[in-house]
Structure formats: C-alpha cells, structure tokens
Amino acid sequence: MPKASLTTEPSKVRCLLHRSAAAFAVLAVVTLGGWPSTADETPRPKIRVRRDIMSLAPDGPEMAALRKAVKVMKGRPATDPTSWTFQANIHATLDKSNPAWNQCQHGNYFFLPWHRMYAYWFERIVREASGDPDFVLPYWNYVNPAARALPEAFRVPADASNPLFVAERNADGGGVNNGARLPAAVAASYWLPFRLTNFATTSPTGAAFGGRVVDKPVHLMSTMGAFETYHNAMHVLIGGESGFMSDPFGSARDPVFWPHHVNVDRLWKRWLDQGGGRANPLNDRAWMDMKFPFFDEKGRKVEMSVRECLNTEELGYRYDDDPSSAAEPRPGPIAAQAGPLKKLAVSKVPGELGTDGPVRVTMDLGDEAQAAVRKDGNLVLFVEGIKFEKEPMVIYEVYLNLPAKEPADFQSVHFVGNLVFAGLDPRAFMAHHGIKKKGQKKEADETYLSSLRAFDVTDVVRELRARKLWQDQQLTVTFVMNGLVPVKGRPVTSAGVKAQFERVTLLGN
Ligand code: C2O
C-alpha cells in the first residue's frame, strides 16, 4: 500500500472511531432487547452494548456497578475462581501452584482471541458480582485525543475507598493517577497495525495485525504482531517503573487492564470493518479449534475455542460503534514471507539509547542494498541485540532519514513505528515459564538470543523515494524517546533510561 493511502486512511479510520456520544445512546436503546429466536431454534443471547467510558459519568450507575463488583471480588479468597486475585492470576503470576493460572497468550496469533475470551468470562463474573443483570465492561478509547488521560473513575478518589484505584501506576510526568496523558505518537498510531491487511503471518518478522502463526500456544516475545505492539505501549506507559500494568505478572491486577483490553477487542472489530481483504484466518484449523480454559460466574471450569469467540453477538455483546450491519465474515489468508530475508546493510557501531535527545545511527548502502531498494521488494529494519539492566518505561519513535534539523513527527513520512521494550526482559520471560537457568529451553534461547524488534519499512522507503527524501548510499535511523505527556511542564524524559542495541540491520527480499 503506498504511503499516500496510508496518510488518507487514518482519517477515514478516525471518523469510525470517534462517533458522537449521542449516536451511542440511540444505538444502545434499540439494540438492548433480546433477539428473536432463529429458525434453527438456537436461543440467541441477549445483546448488551459495551460503551465508550467517556460517555459514562464517573459517578453514574455503570461505574458504580463496576466498583461494587471489583470490591466484592477483591473480598473473595484467591482460591475462588471468581475472585479478583484468581482472575488476575489466570493472566500471569509468579505463583505456579495452580495449573489454571498463567494462561495469557502473547507474541503469537492467539493474542486477540485469548484476550477476548478472558474479558468475556471476566465480564460474566463481574456482572454477577455487581448485581446488575445488564452490566457490561466499558472501553477506554485513547485513540480519541480527549481521552488520553486515565479515565477518572480509576483515579478519583485516589485512595482505598475506590476499588478501581491502585497506587501502582507510572509516576512520570506528574503521574498517571494525576492525569498525565498517553502521547499521541503512541495512542494515535493504531494506523500502523491497521494498514496491515493480513491477520497472521508465518514470517519471523511478525508483520501482521494479529501475530505470528504457531502450532501450539507459546510466547515468542521478540516478534509480536503489530497490534500487540501498539497495545504494549499503553501497558508500559500506564504501569511505568513499579506499576502493575507494565509487568505481565501484575497487569491484570490493575482494574484499568479491563477497559484497555475491551478497547483492544473493539479495535480488532474496527480493523475488520476497514475491509480491503482484512479478515480472520477462518481456514486455519489449528487457530479455529484451539481451546482455552476459563471459569464462569459460578466458578465452574469452562472451555472456549477460537471459533466460538469470533462473533461477539453470539457472546452476547456488541460495541456502541459497531456498524449496524457487518459484512459476512470471509476467511483471510495467512501471509508468508516471499523468500528468505537477505541482510542488505548493517550499522557500524552499537547504539546507546539514553535521555539526551535523538540517537542517530547510519549505515552504508552498497550495490546489493541499492539494487534491492530499486527492485521495490519487501524491506525490513531489525534493531538487534537489545539489552538493558532495567526495562525502560518509555518508548522510542523510530524514523528513517529524518533531517537533523527537522522535529520528529510521527505523522511524517519518516516515521516507521515505535520501539517498545515490553516482552524483551529475559528475567520476566523466564519467571513466567518457570525457567530457572538461561539456555535451559530452546524457547528461551530463541527469545533472548534474538532480542530484536522488527519494522516493516517497505512503504516508508517507497514514499521517501517518491518524495526525493531517499539517499542511495546512506540510510539514517533516528530514535526519539517518548513518554507520558506531563500534567504540566516539560515533556517526560524518564530519568536514567539506559538501553543498548548491537546493530540496526536492513533486510530485504
Ligand atoms: Cu495479556 Cu494487555 O495483556
């Protein structure tokens, strides 16, 4: 897809994502009733409407129901599957004593369906605990520039009387709990994953909306699907250094995990709505038939397959901005890499990512690289050998050929994506898998030895060439730190950030 359509596409997408609250209200009224039974006599569940949290009053009945339920769940013992702790542990915990825990799917193409099921079963438990038979989880749509601060109900009042408040959140920029906001380059760059039309890929670069194909649920943390990377940036910036959200073991302990993941679930639907071949891999049997265990509101163990979760109306919910009639789902193909990637160019010196302004690395483009660029094939940028003592709780915007005097702008033609460190910390990965020693398992090896981030730069290079912003013999890659937008004062440069990478490589085929 040429970059030109890439710049027009976001606005098209954006209007879909920002309907007015009034339109939501009308939709909600007409769709709340039950469905008439269909010819095959399968009873259709009652359809409830998941709403934009910005359209709900922080002290209104919906948030009151959520507060009540979270309080009830927090009061239950961790052994109870309907308790707050048990539910959080289903995602991840360092405690390996219960086989029902540590189920979260990351770094593979089960990421989206697994988290959909997780939110679905959790929502049933919350509904029961809230006493409100119509309860649904709201979504936090940070794509909307007016909704980039943590929703108020989760931070006011900021004390133990509020079951939705936790102190364990990013303190940068005056603090997430005081209204520090997600930066636009992170929250608005959903169009990076949205421009991808394939849900899954077998390519090790993970260049797909939904993630990499695996035959059994494993975590391949180095190369995540593009949308998972987008979602990771919110986790990092909301959790910060010692918060829950940035730690896979802690994330579901923060109540805001849920409005975040409900939004992720909704954006999966909005991606499908964009058409242009965007579709779930319905012909992939392994994906469709994969089952995961959860618990219902009575604490009974249940199983759900990916196939069973694809139509949210069959699960009894829709979103307030779902189109009134969606196209019949068609199977989408799984992308494969067109031939092996060849190394075309490598940066000369290792890079040091710190706090002092943009970091630039250059690489010489030899004959082979120049020929590959002219041929207009796929081009991928690898940032390889990423290392840090402490996982940086900031992200880096990555640019190609950004002129030294030009300010970094994620909406410019130079932007290729955000470098997000989440998932690259080997200690977290090993703890999650109960791996004690480095190198003990092949899976672990694969993860650390290739601690890299991949960026598909095909479109960007093509567009830079079209605009005469390309240089035949040299490529510059610029990294610009970004973090929370502070409540007041200067933009965040999280103190003491230190990370290294060994090299930046341009590959192609
Ligand atoms: Cu399993 Cu947003 O995380």
403 and 279: one domain?
Answer: no
The structural domain count of the chain equals 2
Residues 200 and 104 in one domain: yes
In a domain, residue 3? The reply is no
Which of these three, 334, 350, 366, is where a domain ends? 334
Ligand 1 mean position, distance from CA 428 (Å)? 14
> How much is the CA Rg of the chain, to the nearest whole Å?
22
3-state DSSP assignment of residue 440: coil
Say how many Å lie between the CA of residue 221 and the centre of ligand 1.
12
Question: What would the two tokens of residue 444 be?
Answer: 């672990």
Query: From the alpha carbon of 114, which atom of ligand 1 is closest?
Result: 1
Give the model's pLDDT for residue 426: 62
**Which of 113-127, 335-349, 487-501 is modeled with the greatest confidence?**
113-127
Cα–Cα distance between 97 and 397 in angstroms, integer? 40
Q: Residue 21 — very low, low, confident or very high, per pLDDT cuts 50/70/90? A: very low
Any atom of ligand 1 within 6 Å of the Cβ of 104: yes
Q: Are residues 308 and 352 in the same domain?
A: no
Q: Is residue 380 domain-shared with residue 459, that is, in the same domain?
A: yes
Residue 160 — pLDDT band, cuts 50, 70, 90?
very high
CA of 87 relative to ligand 1 center, distance in Å:
13
Residues 83, 192: one domain?
yes
Domain boundary among 267, 301, 334: 334
Assess if residue 2 is contained within a domain: no
For residue 231, report the distance from its CA to the centre of ligand 1, in Å: 8
Q: What is the DSSP string of 153-185?
A: GGTSS-STT-TT--S-S--GGG-GGGT-B--HH
**pLDDT tens track for 129-145:** 999 999 999 999 999 99
- Domain range for 137 is 11-334
152 shares a domain with 281: yes
| Confidence band of 289 (pLDDT split at 50, 70, 90) | very high
Identify the bridge partners of residue 360 per DSSP, sorted by sequence position: 478
CA dihedral (35, 36, 39, 41) positive or negative: positive
Query: Higher-confidence residue: 414 or 30?
Result: 414
Segment 167-185 mean pLDDT: 95
> Rounded distance, CA 28 to CA 103, Å?
33
Same domain for 232 and 267: yes
State how far the Cα of 319 lies from the Cα of 345, in Å rounded to an integer: 46
Percent of the chain past pLDDT 70, that is, above it, reads 84
Tell me what the pLDDT averaged over the chain comes to. 86
CATH of the domain at 471: 2.60.120
Is residue 389 in some structural domain? yes
Tokens of 15: 């209007």
**pLDDT confidence of 417, banded at 50, 70, 90?**
very high
Higher pLDDT: 463 or 422? It is 463
Quote the CA–CA distance of 448 and 99 in Å, as a whole number. Answer: 26
CB atoms within 10 A of CB 293: 14
For residues 319 and 434, membership in a common domain is answered with no
Calpha distance 75→191 (Å, rounded): 41
209 and 302 part of one domain: yes
Which residue is closest in CA terms to ligand 1's atom 1? 104
Biggest CA-to-CA distance, the chain? 69
What is the rounded end-to-end Cα distance, in angstroms, of the chain?
17
Residue 234 lies in a domain: yes
Q: What share of the chain is helix, strand, coil (3-state, %, to 5)?
A: 35, 15, 50
User: pLDDT of 328-377, one tens digit each?
Assistant: 889 998 888 767 889 999 998 888 998 677 999 999 999 999 999 999 88
pLDDT per position as a tens digit, 430-447: 565 565 555 554 554 444
* CB distance 106 to ligand 1 below 6 Å: yes
Which atom of ligand 1 lies at the shortest distance from residue 261's CA?
A: 2
User: To which residue do tokens 């760059």 refer?
Assistant: 189
Residue 270 within any structural domain of the chain: yes
* 251 C-beta closer than 6 A to ligand 1: yes
Which residues is 212 bridged to in the sheet? 201
**Is 466 in the same domain as 435?**
yes
Kindly state whether residues 347 and 329 are assigned to the same domain. Answer: no
Instruction: Give the whole-angstrom CA distance, residue 426 versus residue 423.
Output: 8
Residue 427 has pLDDT above 90, yes or no: no
For β-strands 334-335 and 200-201, DSSP reports them as parallel
CA-CA distance, 394 to 382, in Å (whole number)? 19
CATH number, domain with residue 95: 1.10.1280.10
Same domain, 291 and 435: no
Q: Which pLDDT band holds residue 488 (cuts at 50, 70, 90)?
A: confident
Between 206 and 198, whose confidence is greater? 198
pTM of the model: 0.89
Question: How remote is the CA of residue 79 from the centroid of ligand 1, in Å?
Answer: 22
Does residue 482 sit within a domain? yes
4 found inside a domain = no
| 473: Cβ contacts below 8 Å, ≥ 6 apart | 364, 365, 370
Question: How far is Cα 288 from Cα 277, in angstroms, rounded to an integer?
Answer: 19
- Quick check: is 6 in a domain? no
d(Cα 133, Cα 312) in Å, to the nearest integer? Answer: 18
Choosing from 312, 334, 356, the residue where a domain stops is 334
235 ligand 1 Cβ < 6 A = yes
